[in-house]
Amino acid sequence: MTNISKRNFLKGAAVAATLPVVGAAHAKKADIPAKWDIETDVAIIGYGGAGASSAITAFDAGAKVMIFEKLPEGGGNTAVSSGGMMIPNNEERAYTYLEKTYSFANSEIDRKQLRTFVKEAMKSKEFLLSLAPDQKIYIYGYAGFTNIPEQDAIEKWRFRTPKGLKLRGGDMLFKNYRYAVETTRKIPVVYNARALELIRENDEVLGVWVEIEGKKKAVKARRGVVLCTGGYEYDDELLQNHTMGQMFHRLGCPGNTGDGVRMAQAAGAGLWHMNALSCPLGLEVPGVKAALQINMLSASYFYVDQDGKRFCNEKMDNHTCIYAVNYLDAIKHRYPRIPCYVVFDEKARKRGPIVGGATSGWAINREHYQWSRDNSAEIEKGVIVSAPTIKALAEKIGVPAENLEQTFRTWNENIKAGADKEFGRPLKKKGKIAFEGREAPVISEPFDEKGPYYAAKLFPTLLNTQGGPRRNEKGQVLNALGKPIPRLYSAGELGSMWGHIYQGATNNSEACVFGRIAGRTVAAEKPWG
């Protein structure tokens, strides 16, 4: 053991005291403006479901509220989602189910936050129906992991679109949010307003610098700032630093570029599960900015890797596809499943669009890409390739023909015999079909013995990221030591509580729940000036 004299110890301590300290308590202070350009009680950054819920609740609690949205329109990932909302029907059973999902996925859990979520989520149905007049909601399913007990303690709800109104689920949800914000309460929304940096003094958040139409504006937030900026799926640097894999494509809102992560981190926020993703498999269409999610209507298909071999049960939860494909072959130094391929036959082609069951995503809801009913347009564009035989198809997509032919034979033999012996894909859907007309009751069936056959290249396609600044059960953003940063709040996908366990309808639910919680808490703050 090294001996340290008292003199040398004290000398070292004195030197250390002069060095800059990294941490929340000494985070870099943004320049405080001599004059504030805009003043409000609560500044909400981001106008999706989380921002709208925060604004509504803070306003109803008596605060003056302004929303700042970086894009020309609001909605974020909420508007391009399927519009589902997870709502418990039994508080204790729902808590038990969700707690077990954390263990199942080995995700970090904040039990106090989870308990608060479940309790508040029980009130979400009432809140949703209060947004706009004459609305109806309906149950379309239950929580996602059927192998975990108490799954039916959580229902998935969605607004029913009135007859004659052509709106998908997410747009219908955000339409009602927007009505509550802009029509009922007339809360100001500033578009094309990109938040740059939090304005702080002595680690207390006073406001935020915002770029509005090219001009930097100082926004004074007398009670606090609520970050509702979504994730970072459109930021390559953050993806490279925090995730494993390659060739990520995107499904969600292009505004999700990690602004909230950087602002919160600069203010000393602690981050959690930055590598957690909601990531289906998808396809890229030339000329379309965002990708489209694969969702087969037919049962005669399977996925293969670059060796022409199946590697998973293709009926896995769409949101967890990343875990099936994100495999690094450390011997050959490649990702053999990125890209991978969907292979199908003629009757599958005729059954309908290979994205036919998908209802979410920027390409569908904002770019309005219309996939052809029989997939013919996508064949012409080269998105789907065709061949008269499996061998010829293998040559076209660049996989070993002998492997793909064997995969084909094994599939047909097993399914004809009554079971997928390789990966346990079921043959038929049990119980009521969640999406009538879009998801076939038959899940697995043999391929036609005669061609033609088809294939399309698939990539991990990000719906959203879950990581970011950690918050507590009050919606307060926490520093690296777990202490609240004064007057800084967050809601939604930014620092989501779900980590690696995302299941359908949970992000919309969390945005709604913690938006309300953050809105109430920030409105109760004593104005600083």
Q: Please tell me the predicted confidence (pLDDT) of residue 471.
A: 97
Q: Check whether residue 417 and residue 456 sit in a common domain.
A: yes
Query: Using CA atoms, how far apart are residues 117 and 108, in angstroms rounded to an integer?
Result: 16
More confident residue, 6 or 475: 475
Instruction: Say what angle helices 111-121 and 506-523 make with each other, to 10 degrees.
Output: 100
Give residue 211's pLDDT band: very low, low, confident or very high (50, 70, 90): very high
Identify residue 128 by its one-letter amino acid code.
Answer: L
pLDDT at 21 over 80: no
Q: Taking Cα atoms as reference points, which of 298, 327, 338 lies closest to residue 315?
A: 298
- Show the domain range for 272: 38-276+466-523
Q: Check whether residue 452 and residue 487 sit in a common domain.
A: no
Q: Check whether residue 373 and residue 512 sit in a common domain.
A: no
Whether 29 is in a domain gets the answer: no
Sign (positive/negative) of CA torsion 400, 401, 402, 405?
positive
Q: Please tell me the predicted confidence (pLDDT) of residue 433.
A: 45
Whether 359 is in a domain gets the answer: yes
- What is the percent of the chain with per-residue pLDDT over 70, rounded to a whole number? 92
Whether 8 is in a domain gets the answer: no
In angstroms, how far is the first alpha carbon of the chain from the final one? 56
Give residue 245's pLDDT band: very low, low, confident or very high (50, 70, 90): confident
Whether 28 is in a domain gets the answer: no
Query: Using CA atoms, how far apart are residues 78 and 136, in angstroms rounded to an integer?
Result: 18
Query: Using CA atoms, how far apart are residues 117 and 289, in angstroms rounded to an integer?
Result: 35
pLDDT at 4 over 50: no
Q: Please tell me the predicted confidence (pLDDT) of residue 29.
A: 52
| Count of Cβ atoms closer than 10 Å to residue 436 Cβ | 9
Q: Please tell me the predicted confidence (pLDDT) of residue 445.
A: 96
Query: Using CA atoms, how far apart are residues 133 and 197, in angstroms rounded to an integer?
Result: 38
Query: Using CA atoms, how far apart are residues 6 and 82, in angstroms rounded to an integer?
Result: 66
Instruction: Report pLDDT digits (tens) over 479-496.
Output: 999 999 999 999 999 999
For the segment 197-223, the average pLDDT, to the nearest whole number, is 96
User: How would you label 58-76 residue by residue, b for 16+ Cβ within 10 Å and e otherwise?
Assistant: bbbbebbbbbbbbbeebbb
Whether 269 is in a domain gets the answer: yes
Q: Check whether residue 258 and residue 294 sit in a common domain.
A: no
Q: Check whether residue 105 and residue 226 sit in a common domain.
A: yes
Q: Check whether residue 264 and residue 390 sit in a common domain.
A: no
Question: CA 139 → CA 21, 156, 166, distances in Å?
Answer: 52, 6, 20
For the segment 135-156, the average pLDDT, to the nearest whole number, is 91
Q: Please tell me the predicted confidence (pLDDT) of residue 318.
A: 81
Give residue 261's pLDDT band: very low, low, confident or very high (50, 70, 90): very high
Q: Check whether residue 189 and residue 272 sit in a common domain.
A: yes
Give residue 19's pLDDT band: very low, low, confident or very high (50, 70, 90): very low
Q: Please tell me the predicted confidence (pLDDT) of residue 22.
A: 39
Q: Please tell me the predicted confidence (pLDDT) of residue 83.
A: 93
Whether 170 is in a domain gets the answer: yes
- What is the percent of the chain with per-residue pLDDT over 90, rounded to a whole number? 80
Q: Please tell me the predicted confidence (pLDDT) of residue 358.
A: 66
Of 425, 444, 462, the one marking the end of a domain is 462
Lookup: tokens for 504: 């359908």
Instruction: Report pLDDT digits (tens) over 174-194.
Output: 999 999 999 999 999 999 999
Q: Check whether residue 327 and residue 442 sit in a common domain.
A: yes
For the segment 56-70, the average pLDDT, to the nearest whole number, is 98
Whether 27 is in a domain gets the answer: no
pLDDT at 416 over 50: yes
Q: How is residue 195 annotated by DSSP?
A: E
Q: Please tell me the predicted confidence (pLDDT) of residue 5.
A: 41
Q: Check whether residue 102 and residue 190 sit in a common domain.
A: yes
Mean pLDDT score across all residues of the chain: 91
Of 439, 462, 485, the one marking the end of a domain is 462
pLDDT at 13 over 50: no
Of 462, 495, 512, the one marking the end of a domain is 462
Lookup: tokens for 213: 């139409």
Question: CA 462 → CA 282, 292, 406, distances in Å?
Answer: 9, 10, 32
Q: Please tell me the predicted confidence (pLDDT) of residue 450.
A: 96
Q: How is residue 487 annotated by DSSP?
A: E
Whether 528 is in a domain gets the answer: no
Instruction: Report pLDDT digits (tens) over 84-140.
Output: 999 999 999 999 999 999 988 888 999 999 999 999 999 999 999 999 999 999 999
CATH number at residue 424: 3.90.700.10
Q: Check whether residue 247 and residue 389 sit in a common domain.
A: no
* Placement of tokens 């060796």 in the chain: 307
Count: domains in the chain: 2
Instruction: Report pLDDT digits (tens) over 269-294.
Output: 999 999 998 899 999 999 999 999 99
CATH number at residue 249: 3.50.50.60
Q: Please tell me the predicted confidence (pLDDT) of residue 149.
A: 92
Helices (H), 122-191: 124-130, 169-178
Q: Taking Cα atoms as reference points, which of 448, 215, 481, 250 lies closest to residue 360?
A: 250
Of 331-335, 437-441, 455-459, 461-465, the one with minimum mean pLDDT is 437-441
Q: Check whether residue 409 and residue 473 sit in a common domain.
A: no
Q: Check whether residue 455 and residue 319 sit in a common domain.
A: yes
For the segment 223-232, the average pLDDT, to the nearest whole number, is 97
Q: Model's pTM, two decimal places?
A: 0.90
